[in-house]
Amino acid sequence: MVQLLFTILTDGLIYGSYLFIVAVGMTVIFGVQRVLNVTHGSFYAFGAYLAAYLGGIWYDHELPDFGGFVIIFLAAIVVGVFFGILIERGLLKHLYGKDEHIVVLATFAAFLALEGVGLFIWGTDPYFFYQPQAMLGFVEILGMTYDYYNLSLIVLALIISLAIWYFLSRTIWGRLLRAVIFDREISQAMGVNVTAVFLGTFILGTTLGALSGAAIAPTISVLPGIGVEVIVLAFAVVVIGGMGSIPGALIGSILVGVVRAAAVHEFPQAEMFVIYAIMAIVLVFRPEGLFAPPAVRKI
C-alpha cells in the first residue's frame, strides 16, 4: 500500500513535471499576449529533433558524454530564438487585436505548415538520443526502478518555476511584464515598449517549448507527430491551472500528473482521458482555472 502510494506519487511527480515543462511556455505566452499558441507543439518537436540530431553527431564522434546536456540547452535556445522571432514578427504581429479564434486558427495553420517543414528536414525515420539518460543510470527505491534522468525532470521543473518567479517578482523586466499583463494600453501610455515585451515574452515561451522537447528527447523516440499531443496536453494544463497563471500551471500539472499516475496503476482504461476529464470538470465548475487571480483576467 505504502509502496503503491509512493509509486503513484513519484510517477505523478515525474509526469507532472513533464507536463509543466511542456505547458509553461504556452502559459507564459497566453498570460502576456492572450494568444493560445498552437505552434507550441512545433517548438517542442523542433527542440526534440534538433537535440537528437546534434546529439547523434556528437556521440557518433565519441565525444564526452556530458555534452548531451549542453546540446539540450543549446538546441532549445537556437530553436526558441529562431522560431520565436519568425512566428512573432512574421505572423502574430499581424494578428494582435483580432478575434481570438482567428489567432488560434492562424497558429494552427502555422503548426501544420511547420509539421510539413519538419518532415522535409528530418524525414520520417526516428531519431534516438538515449545517451544522457543512460549516462545518469538508475536508482532503486522501494523495489521500483527509477531513471535518474526522469527524476531530474522534477528538478528542471523546479528550476524553471523558480527562475520565472524570480524574474517576474524581483527584476525590473518582470515588473514591466506584469504591468503589461495587467493593462496593455495603460502600460503603453506609460511608455512601456509593448512590442519589445511581446517579442521578448514570445521568445521566452518558444525557448521553453523547445527546451521541453529537447529535455524529453532522451526518453522517447523522436518521431514525426510528437508535437501533436503536446498541444492538447498544454491546453489542458493552461486551462486547469488558470489561463496565464504560472503557479497554477505548476500545481495543476502536479495534480494532473498524480491523478494520471493513479489511473495508470489502478484504472488503466482512464489513462488517456483523465487529463481531459479534469480539464472539462475545471471548465464547468471553475472556468477561470484553479489558481488564476480573477482580478487580472480580462476574458
Partner 1 sequence: MSFDRTIIGVTIAVVLMACATFFIPDWVRQIGLLSMAIGSVALGLLVLWRTGLISFGHALFYGFSAYGVALLNHLGVRDAFVLVIVSAAASGLLAWGLGFLVRRYRAIFFALLTMAFSMILYGVLAKTERFGSTDGLNIHPPTFLGYAPVDQAAQITLFLFGLLVVYGLMLGVQIYLRSVLGQMTTAVRENEIRVEYLGYSVEHVIHIKYVISGLLAGFGGAIMALAVGQVDPESMAYWTASGEFVFVAILAGTGNVAAPFIGAVAFEIIRHFAWEHGANLWQLIMGGTLLAIIMFVPDGIWSVLQRLVRKKDGVK
- Determine the interface stretch with partner 1 among 11-19, 80-88, 211-219, 279-287 (rule: CB under 8 A): 279-287
Compute CA distances 21 → 115, 155, 175, whole Å. 21, 11, 23
Q: How far is the CB of 178 from partner 1 (least distance, A)?
A: 22
| 115 lines the binding site for partner 1 (CB under 8 A) | yes
Read off the C-alpha cell for 208.
521553453
Q: How many helices (H) and strands (E) does the chain have?
A: 12, 2
Amino acid at 106: A
| 104 lines the binding site for partner 1 (CB under 8 A) | yes
Helices 40-60 and 194-216, packing angle to 10 deg: 50
| 52 lines the binding site for partner 1 (CB under 8 A) | no
Task: Out of 36, 52, 87, 222, point to the residue binding partner 1 (CB under 8 A).
Answer: 36
Residues 6+ apart with CB under 8 A from 198: 32, 33, 88, 92, 96, 180
| 117 lines the binding site for partner 1 (CB under 8 A) | yes
| 106 lines the binding site for partner 1 (CB under 8 A) | yes
| 237 lines the binding site for partner 1 (CB under 8 A) | no
- 58/111 with CB nearer partner 1: 111
| 232 lines the binding site for partner 1 (CB under 8 A) | yes
Taking Cα atoms as reference points, which of 298, 190, 250 lies closest to residue 28? 250
3-class SS of residue 91: coil
Task: Out of 20, 53, 111, 198, point to the residue binding partner 1 (CB under 8 A).
Answer: 111
By residue count, the chain amounts to 299
Task: Out of 2, 189, 284, 295, point to the residue binding partner 1 (CB under 8 A).
Answer: 284
Give yes or no for a contact between 238 and 23, defined as CB atoms under 8 angstroms apart.
yes
195 vs 199: CA distance, rounded Å = 6
Give yes or no for a contact between 25 and 163, defined as CB atoms under 8 angstroms apart.
no
255 vs 249: CA distance, rounded Å = 10
| 236 lines the binding site for partner 1 (CB under 8 A) | yes
- Determine the interface stretch with partner 1 among 15-23, 169-177, 213-221, 265-273 (rule: CB under 8 A): 265-273
Task: Out of 135, 168, 283, 296, point to the residue binding partner 1 (CB under 8 A).
Answer: 283
Compute, in degrees rounded to 10, the torsion defined by CA atoms 34, 109, 123, 24. 10
| 298 lines the binding site for partner 1 (CB under 8 A) | no
- Determine the interface stretch with partner 1 among 78-86, 110-118, 126-134, 211-219 (rule: CB under 8 A): 110-118
| 196 lines the binding site for partner 1 (CB under 8 A) | no
- 29/110 with CB nearer partner 1: 110
Question: What does the binding site for partner 1 look like in residue numbers (CB under 8 A)?
Answer: 36, 91, 94, 100-102, 104-106, 108-120, 124, 224, 228, 231-232, 235-236, 239, 268-277, 279-280, 283-284, 287, 299
